């Protein structure tokens, strides 16, 4: 089914890594998709980042079926065993500090909701791509490998998405909760 995520026009596909903590889901596991995990972002009154940690609901892990793609192979991702590691990147997904949406009703009155989840993070990365920025797995991994990686990503080094030890904890470089980091 990976062939469904190949575009002749160069479109990049983004998919959420899931909202149930550690674990791998498809299509995020596809080698042709940017898998997007989640963080918990805290801002001050002036919208400056105070902290960003791995979100407990962020999905991630190692695929049992997809081989490690070329863009990940030079990274030496620990414990991947030659298989696809997910997620690739992350963004705020915590519903506690999530995104406001307005749902209108047929009677003209609506309700504001606060939502989150990696299903909110993935479209934001797609929006970054649509703004003409080079958001793709090939670019992400080469940017993170450069000396200026902090220009491209915030490396999320704290938080976890479960009790599975190494695979559930954020750490420097690459981790199975936030991938290469957040933007």
- Model confidence pLDDT, tens digit, residues 161-176: 999 999 999 999 899 9
Residues contacting 21, CB < 8 A, separation 6+: 56, 57, 58, 59, 161, 162, 168
- For residue 152, pLDDT beyond 80: no
Please state which CATH class domain 2-168 belongs to. alpha beta
- What pLDDT is stored for residue 146 in this prediction? 73
CA quadruple 112, 117, 123, 126: dihedral sign: positive
Q: How many CA atoms lie within 13 A of 14 on its CB side?
A: 21
Summarised one tens digit per residue, pLDDT across range 49-83 is 999 999 999 999 999 999 999 999 888 899 999 99
């Amino acid at each position: 089914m990976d062939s469904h995520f190949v575009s002749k026009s160069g479109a990049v596909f983004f998919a959420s890594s899931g909202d149930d903590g550690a674990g791998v889901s498809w299509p995020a596991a596809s080698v042709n998709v940017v898998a997007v995990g989640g963080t918990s972002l805290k801002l001050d009154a002036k919208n400056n980042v105070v902290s960003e940690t791995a979100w407990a609901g962020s999905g991630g892990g190692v695929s049992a079926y997809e081989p490690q793609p070329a863009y990940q192979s030079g990274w030496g991702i620990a414990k991947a065993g030659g298989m696809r590691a997910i997620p690739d990147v992350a963004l705020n997904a915590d519903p506690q500090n999530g995104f406001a949406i307005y749902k209108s009703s047929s009677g003209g009155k609506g309700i504001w909701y606060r939502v989150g989840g990696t299903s909110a993070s993935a479209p934001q990365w797609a929006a970054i791509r649509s703004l003409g920025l080079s958001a793709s797995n090939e670019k992400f991994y080469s940017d993170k490998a450069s000396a200026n990686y902090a220009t491209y990503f915030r490396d999320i080094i704290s938080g976890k998405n479960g009790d599975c030890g190494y695979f559930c904890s954020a750490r420097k470089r690459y981790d199975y909760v936030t991938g290469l980091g957040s933007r």
